[in-house]
Amino acid sequence: MMRRNHESADLAVSTSKRSGWMRAALTAPTRSDVMIAAVAAALELMNLFSGWENAKTWSTLYLDSPTLPAVYYVVGLAALAWRHFAPLPVFGVLVIHMIMTFPLFAPNAVIGQDYTPTPWAGVVISLAAVASDKPVRISVPVLLFALAVPVIAFGRDGITGYEPSSILLMGVVLGSGWFFGLLIGRNRRRISSLQQAQRESATAIEKERDKTAAELHDIVSHAVTVMTLHAAGARRIIDDNPARAAEALEVIERVGSQTMDELRRLLELIRANSAGVEMLHGLHDLEGLVFPVRSAGIAVQFASSGDPRPLDPSVDHAAFRVVQEALTNVTKHAGSGAEATVSLHWTDELLRVEVSDGGGSNAKVDSRPDYGLIGLSARVALVGGSLSYGPKGEGFTVRVELPIATQAFAPADNTTPDRLRPLRRQAGGD
């Protein structure tokens, strides 16, 4: 069974490699790659045509015209257009293409004495592509093989009579092509790395911008809703009940001051970008959150079950924002006289938060979800939780499940954390 698994894995790898080459062959090359292939073909054709009269030992069948060798050159060098899609296969094809020039068109040539033009440009350029696109551990053996090609090509009958300086010159040309390709590849990878870093930086900035926008919405939406409701109430009763109108104005002043503090805190977090997590609101701030909602005529009750446990600061803040947005929606849509219940259910692994209302006498008929709830979904997902919301009877319910912090955040004893005790005291309403 193990052997069959290994054979299947090897077959899958082999098939993947073959399919990779096939995809490379079917991929349209870039314009610049086509241009380089065309320039290489043009240079080799110039070399072929300019020296044709001196090629006296070419096969007598084709001696009268260089047309067929020219076609052979062009067809072979066209592979250069795909050198960056499949560097090694293209290099191998062009080495064979160069070597086969001798048996095909100059079978009787005496190396070192007779003029035998060969398409070396394709080998040099494809070698540069290998050095550019492949790791050094692969390109160096390919270079060594390429350096052996002149000896193989020019020395099939021995290199006697052939100038060693010519082979040395070809080695220098091949080595220069490899080194040039190596420099190009390193420069391209450096540029690609910088571009990737820029993209990651832009993504991080965009995420921070979205996070800041969500924070601003949560802060401003809740405050403006409460302040608007109190201002409307104060306007209606200011003549008949100035004392209550004054209380409403005090609430507006308090909420406005709290909102300014939150905005200032948010700006400090943005500037610091660290060490500010303790400044985030959490469940311990629910009393301050609920006070202006209750003073707007909405009865808010708390219910808690299970043993409260310490939360990661980001989870604690997400729970606070869920309650804040849900109560803001109750204020906006259910209106004065509505009843809302905030329920917390603690388990060993999850904190379930549910905020529901009965609709109220001034309830507006709509589907309720808005930018705030949609933004909350992303916020909750970011800390590993899930959010759901929808109508329930004549009212509306928002539910969220959040992960409990790991043991690293747990206190040494089993006492209830101080910041969670206000909820225990308020369980069942007040």
Q: How confident is the model at residue 163 (pLDDT cuts 50, 70, 90)?
A: low
Residue 334 pLDDT greater than 70, yes or no: yes
At residue 93, the pLDDT reads 92
In the predicted model, what is the mean pLDDT of residues 49-78?
A: 70
Specify whether the CB–CB gap between 322 and 365 falls below 8 A.
no
pLDDT exceeds cutoff 50 at 278 = no
User: 202-426 adopts what CATH topology?
Assistant: Heat Shock Protein 90 (3.30.565)
- Angle (nearest 5°) at CA 294 between 421 and 239: 150
pLDDT band at 138 (very low <50, low <70, confident <90, very high): very high
Lookup: tokens for 379: 């916020």
pTM comes to 0.47
Sheet with 299-305, side-by-side order of all strands: 299-305, 339-346, 350-357, 395-403, 386-392
CA distance 230 to 213: 25
Whether the pLDDT of residue 243 is over 90: the answer is no
pLDDT tens digits, 197-206: 778 877 776 7
Tell which wins on pLDDT, 9 or 241.
Answer: 241
Residue 137 has a pLDDT of: 92
pLDDT at position 425: 33
Q: What is the pLDDT of residues 361-380, one digit of tens each?
A: 555 545 445 556 777 787 78
Asked if 220 and 258 count as a contact pair (C-beta separation under 8 A), the reply is no
Q: How far apart are CA 11 and CA 112, in angstroms?
A: 47
pLDDT above 50 for 277: no
- Residues with Cβ within 8 Å of 30's Cβ and at least 6 positions away in sequence, in order, are 84
pLDDT of 70 > 80? The answer is yes
Structural domain boundaries in the chain: 19-162, 202-426
Nearest C-alpha neighbor of 341 from the set 423, 428, 421, 225: 428
Higher pLDDT, 340 or 363: 340
Is the pLDDT assigned to residue 253 strictly greater than 50? Answer: yes
Mean pLDDT of the chain: 74
pLDDT score, position 128? 92
Q: Which residues contact 62 (CB under 8 A, 6 or more apart)?
A: 68, 69, 105
What confidence tier does 410 reach under pLDDT thresholds 50, 70, 90?
Answer: very low
What does the alpha-carbon distance between residue 358 and residue 301 come to, in Å, rounded to a whole number? 12
What's the CA gap between 366 and 419, in Å, rounded?
A: 36
Mean pLDDT of 150-158: 57
Q: Higher pLDDT residue, 271 or 302? A: 302
Where residue 11 falls among pLDDT bands split at 50, 70, 90? very low
